[in-house]
Amino acid sequence: MASIAFNRVTKSFVEGTTVLRQFSLQVEEGEFIVLVGPSGSGKSTVLRLLAGLESVSEGEILIDGNVVNDLAPQQRNIAMVFQNYALYPHMSVRENLAFPLRMARQSKQQIDAKVSEVAQLLGLSDLLQRRPKQLSGGQKQRVAMGRALVRDPGVFLLDEPLSNLDAKLRAQIRADIAQLQSRLNKTTLYVTHDQVEAMTLGHRVGLMNHGELQQIGTPEQLYGQPQNIFVASFIGSPGMNIMASTISTHTNRIDIHIGTQELQLPIAMFGHRKTPPFNEQGYVGIRPEAFSLSKSDHSIAVNATIKSVEYLGHESLLYFGLPDTGRDYQDGVWVARIKGKMLDTADTVVELHVTAEAVYLFNSEGVNITIET
């Protein structure tokens, strides 16, 4: 087990492209951190820098308090699982698992004992004679994890380890990985572009965009207190509805305009969140799950023109427009998640009620003005 620190790490490639900017992150021993973000945001670069597969341009990386910038990969006691698994096709599962131990010149007894232990741990004991091509996707994935774990690395890195699997298997192996990590208590950095994986796996989640860490925190913090519009729209599915609006605060209410509707939000709706004096153009964000067909305490109502409904069994996704919404952030279509089956059809107008927790206000730069930053 090991702790990790990135101190203002920047990575530029020779052609002058900077793909990671002033990246700082502290990971405690045994912690499970997930880095999530769109493709190209710099997630794999973070792992490759930590593993020593790329060199740092500026800043420091520390493992257990020691700077490792100049250490070779094999001196860092780190194991990495790649998206494509990179198994040796001509070797059996047993040989694949044993390979890192053979390279480390361990004795045959040590190797046999460790391979059996890891095979047991990952449910691979009956597959040891098979070649990779005789394995299912999920089994290959487990062999790749086993091969990373045999050497008891201090740090375990996984780069999109589930992206080659179908949805059902992904959910299952996701749960296995969470269980394995809590059992082994190994410091883990896990990279994915999938916010569901991030939210379900990470003790803390770091959201990246354009080579910068947008926010790091518990899944609850990212969902409940997004620092900016990017975080607010990325976390949650479907993402938060966001619209340009004038926002003005008064003694006990905040007025917002969305389209031609003026909505008055009682300050009490914001609970413990801060409500600074504000009087300018900004953005309002409302989560799809915050809408309801029925009124509740402190709820406000909006008139929604239904565009389409998707019925998903336990809920319906209701796509709607607001009257004359003007300068929209999301092309004028909002979405609400409504429990059960929604019968109304296109072009009918319904009153949707918005509950307290989920109205967010952002300034013109997209910064959340209702949380402390």
* Beta partners for residue 334, in sequence order: 320
Which of 25, 34, 41, 231: binder of ligand ADP (CB under 6 A)? 41
| Least spacing, CB of residue 37 vs ligand ADP, in Å | 6
Distances (CA, A) of 36 to 104, 161, 179, 209, 373: 33, 13, 20, 9, 21
Q: Please say whether the beta carbons of 296 and 353 come within 8 A.
A: yes
| Least spacing, CB of residue 191 vs Mg ion, in Å | 6
Comparing C-alpha atoms, which of 4, 364, 35, 55 is closest to residue 213? 35
Q: Please say whether the beta carbons of 353 and 293 come within 8 A.
A: yes
Is residue 13 at the binding interface for ligand ADP, with CB under 6 A as the rule?
Answer: yes
Cβ proximity to Mg ion, 211 vs 285, nearer residue: 211
Cβ proximity to Mg ion, 158 vs 336, nearer residue: 158
88 binds, among Mg ion, ligand ADP, none (CB under 5 to 8 A by kind): none
| Least spacing, CB of residue 42 vs ligand ADP, in Å | 4
Is residue 42 at the binding interface for ligand ADP, with CB under 6 A as the rule?
Answer: yes
Cβ proximity to ligand ADP, 158 vs 318, nearer residue: 158
| Least spacing, CB of residue 35 vs Mg ion, in Å | 9
Is residue 44 at the binding interface for ligand ADP, with CB under 6 A as the rule?
Answer: yes
The stretch among 34-42, 161-169, 254-262, 277-285 that binds ligand ADP (CB under 6 A) is: 34-42
Is residue 206 at the binding interface for ligand ADP, with CB under 6 A as the rule?
Answer: no
19 binds, among Mg ion, ligand ADP, none (CB under 5 to 8 A by kind): ligand ADP
CA dihedral 119, 120, 123, 126 (to 10 degrees): 70
| Least spacing, CB of residue 86 vs ligand ADP, in Å | 16
Which of 44, 96, 241, 325: binder of Mg ion (CB under 5 A)? 44
The stretch among 42-50, 73-81, 131-139, 211-219 that binds Mg ion (CB under 5 A) is: 42-50
Question: Residues with Cβ < 8 Å from 144, sequence gap 6 or more?
Answer: 81, 82, 85, 86, 87, 161
Which of 39, 109, 294, 345: binder of ligand ADP (CB under 6 A)? 39
Whose tokens are 């307290």? That residue is 356
Q: DSSP letter at 54?
A: S
Is residue 225 at the binding interface for Mg ion, with CB under 5 A as the rule?
Answer: no
Residues 338 and 357: their CA atoms lie apart, in Å, by 16
Residue 348 phi, psi dihedral angles, 5° rounding: -80, 150
Number of residues that bind Mg ion (CB under 5 A): 1
Under DSSP, is residue 126 helix (H, G, I), strand (E, B) or coil? helix
Is residue 41 at the binding interface for Mg ion, with CB under 5 A as the rule?
Answer: no
Number of residues that bind ligand ADP (CB under 6 A): 11
Q: Please say whether the beta carbons of 79 and 156 come within 8 A.
A: yes
Is residue 45 at the binding interface for ligand ADP, with CB under 6 A as the rule?
Answer: yes
| Least spacing, CB of residue 103 vs Mg ion, in Å | 26
Residues 316 and 309: their CA atoms lie apart, in Å, by 7
Footprint of ligand ADP (CB under 6 A) = 13, 17, 19, 37, 39-45
Footprint of Mg ion (CB under 5 A) = 44
